[in-house]
Amino acid sequence: MPIRRDDRGRYVEVEPRRTEETAWLRCRECGELVFRRKLKESNHICQRCGAYFFLTAHERVTSLVDEDSFEPLGLGATSLDPLEFVDRRPYQERLEEAQAITGLNDAILVGRGTLDGCPLVLAVMDFRFIGGSMGQVVGDEIAAALERCAQEEVPFVLVVASGGARVQEGMVSLLQMAKTVAARNVLAEAAVPFIAVLTYPSSGGMLASVGSLADITIAEQGAMIGFAGPRVIEQTTGERLPAGFQTASFALEHGMVDQVVTRESLRAELTRALSVLQGGSHG
């Protein structure tokens, strides 16, 4: 089965994926109508053309941890809209809409679970929630998860699906970069492993902070990995972007990630990475 979305560096977009689920979804890559239940069985990969469908945070969690082992740990907080931001629409409205679509408080789902029996804390971002952007809630959730992992000596796994900082929270969102990095340093002092999984997309402030500081970094095939968006680069510099720019294999080639894996093999790869980092005894 040809699962080479990598050259295009994109997943197939199926939007909007609302909570009121339709039974059928159309693959935007090949046009195939896919029965939603079938899609769940196939790890949300189109069986006809091999394209990857977006995963919601819950779907990602299900695909990674042992069945029924996931226990949410979220702080239950929602954004305070610190700037009372209004663009063409009030930020508050965008938040409420995103909450209704995803059933999440914000762009991240945190919980504990086991993977092949090994305990871990898992934080998974949801791209449907304002582009998976990091604002005060995402920053708080990641920092709290890192602190918990340090205290309980449980490995931390972060699955990134984020366009970057939450613009509607202005400087408050920029400071989440410092917050998550500070908490990451606490985990390092506790000598507890941290694995990052970079999916579509991993960019901007999310990548330029905690997303780039894991002990092992695994890219899912089809991921977009890069700091600045292609359009920004072209507009600012006038440069032409090389083929395969900011794809998972580009990241591997340029030394940014340790592995590129298919969606089917991600779980096994994560198990392997976790086991190899555990049980360090020196000092």
Partner 1 sequence: MADDTSIRALEEKVAELRTMMESGGVDLSEEITLLEKKLFALRREQYARMSDWDRVKLARHPERPRGSPLVEAVAENFYELRGDRMGGDDPALRGGPALLDGRRIMILFHHRGSTREQQHACRFGMATPQGYRKAIRLMNIAERLRLPLLSLVDTPGAYPGVQSEEQNIAGAIAESISRTLALDVPTLTVILGEGGSGGAIAIAATDRVLMMENATYSVISPEGAAAILWKDPQATPQAAQALRLTAPPLMELGLIDQIIAEPVGGAHTDPKSTADELRTAVSNHLHELSSIPLDELRALRYKRYRNAGSVRAAADQRG
Binding of residue 86 to partner 1 (CB under 8 A): yes
For residue 264, give the DSSP letter. Answer: H
Q: Which of 56, 102, 136, 221 is the binder for partner 1 (CB under 8 A)?
A: 136
Binding of residue 190 to partner 1 (CB under 8 A): no
Q: Which of 56, 102, 199, 209 is the binder for partner 1 (CB under 8 A)?
A: 209
190 class by beta-carbon count within 10 Å (0-12 exposed, 13-18 middle, 19+ buried)? middle
Q: Which of 17, 44, 128, 179 is the binder for partner 1 (CB under 8 A)?
A: 179
Q: Tell me whether residue 64 or residue 216 sits nearer to partner 1 (CB atom).
A: 216
Choose one: 26-34, 57-65, 80-88, 148-156; the region binding partner 1 (CB under 8 A).
80-88
Can you give the three-state secondary structure of 171-238, one letter per residue?
HHHHHHHHHHHHHHHHHHHCCCCEEEEEEEEEEHHHHCCHHHCCCEEEEECCCEEECCCHHHHHHHHC
Binding of residue 173 to partner 1 (CB under 8 A): yes
Binding of residue 199 to partner 1 (CB under 8 A): no
Tokens linked to 197: 């999984």
Binding of residue 228 to partner 1 (CB under 8 A): yes
Nearest approach, Cβ of 125 to partner 1 (angstroms)?
A: 16
Binding of residue 175 to partner 1 (CB under 8 A): yes
Can you tell me the distance from the alpha carbon of 131 to that of 88, in angstroms, rounded to the nearest whole number? Answer: 17
Can you tell me the distance from the alpha carbon of 278 to that of 232, in angstroms, rounded to the nearest whole number? Answer: 40
Q: Which of 63, 227, 267, 272 is the binder for partner 1 (CB under 8 A)?
A: 227
2 class by beta-carbon count within 10 Å (0-12 exposed, 13-18 middle, 19+ buried)? exposed
**Torsion angle defined by CA atoms of residues 249, 253, 257 and 263, in that order, rounded to the nearest 10 degrees:** 20
Return the residues of window 146-165 that contact partner 1 according to CB under 8 A. Answer: 165
Binding of residue 75 to partner 1 (CB under 8 A): yes
Q: Tell me whether residue 76 or residue 280 sits nearer to partner 1 (CB atom).
A: 76
Binding of residue 252 to partner 1 (CB under 8 A): no
Q: Tell me whether residue 18 or residue 89 sits nearer to partner 1 (CB atom).
A: 89
Tokens linked to 124: 């998974």
* E strands, the chain, in order: 24-26, 33-35, 71-72, 108-115, 118-125, 156-162, 194-203, 216-220, 225-226, 259-261
Q: Tell me whether residue 88 or residue 282 sits nearer to partner 1 (CB atom).
A: 88
Max Cα-Cα span within the chain = 57
Chain positions contacting partner 1, by CB under 8 A: 75, 77-80, 82-83, 85-88, 136-137, 139-140, 143, 165, 167-179, 181-186, 203-205, 207-213, 226-228, 232-233, 236-237, 239, 241-242, 245-246, 254-256
